[in-house]
Amino acid sequence: MTAAAIASQEILKPHLTVAGGHSLGGTIRVSGAKNSALVLMTASLLTADTLELCNVPDLTDIGGMSEILASLGVKVERQADRVRLNAAVLSSSEPPYELVNSLRASFFSIGPLLGRLGHAKVPLPGGCRIGARPVVEHIRGLKALGAVIQVEHGIIHANVPGPNKRLKGASIILDCPSVGATETILMAAVLAEGTSTIENVAQEPEVQDLANLLNRMGARVSGAGSPVITVEGVESLHGCLDYPVIPDRIEAGTFLMAAAITRSRLRVEPVVPEHLNAVLQKLRDCGCHLDIDATGITITPKEITAVDITTQPFPGFPTDLQAPFMALMTTARGTSVITERIYENRMQHVGELQRMGASIRVDGNTAIVEGVFRLSAAPVKGSDLRASAAMVLAGLAADGTSKVSGLQHLDRGYDDIEAKLNGVGAVISRQAS
């Protein structure tokens, strides 16, 4: 393809125009958690009965997972925020490469496929290009449960030996508390023979949500939310109806930061405050007053001053809010130090913020941000999902109207973000070209 043709395609991609300088106010709604919904959908592979989820966000990633599950024989029905899945008849144990390559969460299917069928062929995953994110921990855990695994030509071939094709309980210690590995091993272990103990696991709310669903389906999982999870294997699981996906803590945090960067009083709901403790503390530290009640959070920014953050596994500051928080810090009084400890390639948004007048210096995976009086509008592009959200936030605070492209990333994780923000006073429009 010629350079001119590539440029033409880029021009035709949709973008957002974000008018800066508008105050926000009122109440903004938070959708169900993308990172939870995706893995809960794969749990449907563990049973022949129907699984029904509610509070499911309308995202391209959810559509992608629906396609992947359908390719395996799962019947998928969507109505409003509800998804019904029935895997009574699985026609395949090998999701297609072209689908898996675009959605990393599709790799989660390997655990339930092994647990229920005893075999699976799953391509290595894709997703946002923010770092290596290897699946070594997933493979080690599945091998400990008795699976025989080979990797050939980018495809993982996994089988359970023996006449009953059933995994065996095991003691597993993860080298790092990977969310994906924890969820993969957990779903494999629930149908294993015997008891599994998994140590150094991820403690994220999404892991707890998965464990809660599995227990509703008849599993025996304890310890989710702590460093050690114990799973007593059962022979089969049943279905579950009307299971609500937890609110998206990353979307909630993004909206709180949208209020802070525009110096606006805003109510964000529903929110589970315990899922955002580290973020809420940093917002308080930088000058925001928070009123927290049973259903949501009202944020009232005062003078925003610089604070430092270091991303860490839960309950630390989440890597998925590093970029939006950096956008906020570009407008703070003073100098902040932002250190990324989860992914090695998650500072790509720095250059785009600099295009808007931000003063940022990068040293490895640390950014030194000197707050400026005001950002200025510019054409910018989100390099990944959360970087795209950061560009929208920066545009809200900038002088003039910004053009934000890279919406293929944004639409993976935010359900109609422009409509939600417009509903509380923003002026954002989606343009076809």
Task: Give the start-end residues of each E strand in 327-378.
Answer: 335-339, 359-363, 366-370
For residue 326, what pLDDT is reported?
Answer: 98
pLDDT given at position 4: 42
Q: Which helix (H) or strand (E) holds 62?
A: helix 60-71
Amino acid at residue number 357: G
Does this chain's domain 3-31+247-431 share its CATH topology with 34-244? yes
One-letter amino acid identity for 128? Answer: C
The pLDDT of residue 9 = 47
Q: What are phi and psi of 246, to 5 degrees?
A: -65, 155
**Domain layout of the chain by residue ranges:** 3-31+247-431, 34-244
Closest CA to 271 of 262, 259, 263, 261: 259
Per-residue confidence (pLDDT) for residue 423, from 0 to 100: 98
Whole-number CA gyration radius for the chain: 22
pLDDT at 152: 85
Topology (CATH) of 3-31+247-431: UDP-n-acetylglucosamine1-carboxyvinyl-transferase; Chain (3.65.10)
Please give the full DSSP string across 317-351, using - where no structure is assigned: B-GGGHHHHHHHHTTSBSEEEEE--S-TT--THHH
What is the fold of 34-244?
Answer: UDP-n-acetylglucosamine1-carboxyvinyl-transferase; Chain (3.65.10)
Q: pLDDT for 181-212, tens place per residue?
A: 999 999 999 999 999 999 999 999 999 999 99
Catalytic residue among 128, 240, 286, 288: 128
Size of the chain in residues: 433
Q: Which two tokens stand for residue 192?
A: 């294993």
- pTM, rounded to two decimals: 0.92
pLDDT, tens digit, 9 for 90 and up, residues 393-413: 999 999 999 999 999 999 989
Model pLDDT, residue 151: 86
Active site residue 128: yes
For the record, the structure tokens of 42 come out as 């794969």
Q: What are the residue ranges in the chain where pLDDT is below 50?
A: 1-10, 127-133
